[in-house]
Amino acid sequence: MTIESTQPNEESSPPTEKEQLPHSRFGIWSFWIALPASIIVCAILAEDIFKLDIIFDIIPQSMCLFTIVMQGLFYCGLATIVSFILGIMGLFQRNTRKYFAILGITLSLPGVFVGGKICLMIINDVTGGLIFR
């Protein structure tokens, strides 16, 4: 004679069509951090590549554009690295949907590459070109 539990085991029973899995909170945060950061990175890079002169018309001429661009890329690079880590954490959460985590990782990848390139440029400038010639 076996005694069965009155409550279903959450780990073993797959969700039915009526009960939907919640979205991963880390994935949602990953997506919402990566979205504006990747838009800003793309806007700065498009401004630099195509010489659009749209973004920098509103900046006073006394400020150094290079400093503003590098700070924007640096902070957006940090935001996309955080977003990438949160997306990875969202992928490993159990019993949650992974859509926002995948979108957050996808949106943060270009920013991670740009942030990595900027870090290598800064290391190259600090070392005086000894590492990357």
Between 75 and 66, the higher pLDDT residue: 75
Q: In total, how many domains does the chain have?
A: 1
Give the distance, in angstroms, between the CA of residue 22 and the centroid of all CA atoms in the same chain.
21
For 127, the token pair is 């070392």
Asked if the structure places residue 93 within a domain, the reply is: yes
Asked if the structure places residue 7 within a domain, the reply is: no
Q: What is the pLDDT of residues 17-74, one digit of tens each?
A: 556 888 899 999 999 999 988 888 777 777 666 665 655 565 555 556 667 777 777 7
Between 123 and 80, the higher pLDDT residue: 80
Tell me the HSE value of 125 on the side-chain side, using a 13 A CA sphere.
5
Asked if the structure places residue 89 within a domain, the reply is: yes
The dihedral built from the CA positions of residue 113, 116, 120 and 122, taken in this order, carries a sign that is: positive
Cα–Cα distance measured from residue 43 to residue 95, given in angstroms and rounded to the nearest whole number: 36
C-beta of residue 58 within 8 angstroms of C-beta of residue 47: no
Q: Show the domain range for 108.
A: 25-126
Between 115 and 11, the higher pLDDT residue: 115
Instruction: Look at residue 14 in the predicted model and tell me its pLDDT.
Output: 61
Instruction: Look at residue 9 in the predicted model and tell me its pLDDT.
Output: 54
C-beta of residue 96 within 8 angstroms of C-beta of residue 10: no
Asked if the structure places residue 17 within a domain, the reply is: no
Asked if the structure places residue 19 within a domain, the reply is: no
Rounded to two decimals, the pTM is 0.66
Asked if the structure places residue 88 within a domain, the reply is: yes
